[in-house]
Amino acid sequence: MTRDRRRRLVNRAMEALATLAALVAVAVLAIVVVSVARRGAGAVSWDFFTKPQALFGQPGGGIANALVGTALLVLLATAMALPVGVLTAIYLTECLQGSRRS
């Protein structure tokens, strides 16, 4: 009887720990997102997204150049990686018949 109770208690404790672990991960995510959003909220405006970076020392300006740069970078990288990646995958699955695939 006591052995049975102990088994059930251990089971309950482990279930609680697993749930707690998941909660902690979600909480960390929430903390990161909320604190970044709170600190950044003050700077967000229409100008922030549409104006290029101000000259050094001048107030104002935005991140338009960074946005465009990111978009171009992603576009170029995808354009180069997609054909190579797909072709490699085709080669690995179709042309290597009989050898060990992992």
Partner 1 sequence: MAAALACLVLVGAIVWKILELSGDSFDRFGFGFITARSWDPVKHVFGALPFIYGTAVSSLVALVVATPQAIAIGLYLSELAPRGVRGIVGSLVELLAAIPSVVLGLWGILVLGPFLAHHVEPSLHNTLGFIPLFGDPQQTGQGLFTAAVILTIMIVPIVASISRELFLGVPRELEEGALALGATRWEMVRGVILPATRSGIAAAVILGLGRAVGEAIAVTQVIGGGTRIGWSLFPPADTLASKIASSYQGAGSGLETSSLLYLAAILLVLGLIANLIAQVIVRRFDPLRGARS
Q: How far apart are CA 44 and CA 53, in angstroms?
A: 14
Given the structure tokens 């749930």, which residue do they identify? Answer: 19
Is 80 a binder of partner 1 (CB under 8 A)?
A: no
Is 95 a binder of partner 1 (CB under 8 A)?
A: yes
CA trace torsion 92, 95, 96, 98 (10° rounding): 140
With CB under 8 A as the contact rule, the residue among 1, 2, 5, 22 that binds partner 1 is 22
CB of 69 to partner 1, least distance (A): 14
Structure tokens, 101: 């695939």
Which residue's CB is nearer to partner 1, number 29 or number 71?
29
37-56 residues in contact with partner 1 (CB under 8 A) are 39
Which residue's CB is nearer to partner 1, number 58 or number 80?
80
Amino acid letter, 75: L
Which residue's CB is nearer to partner 1, number 5 or number 58?
5
Cβ neighbours, 10 Å, residue 52: 13
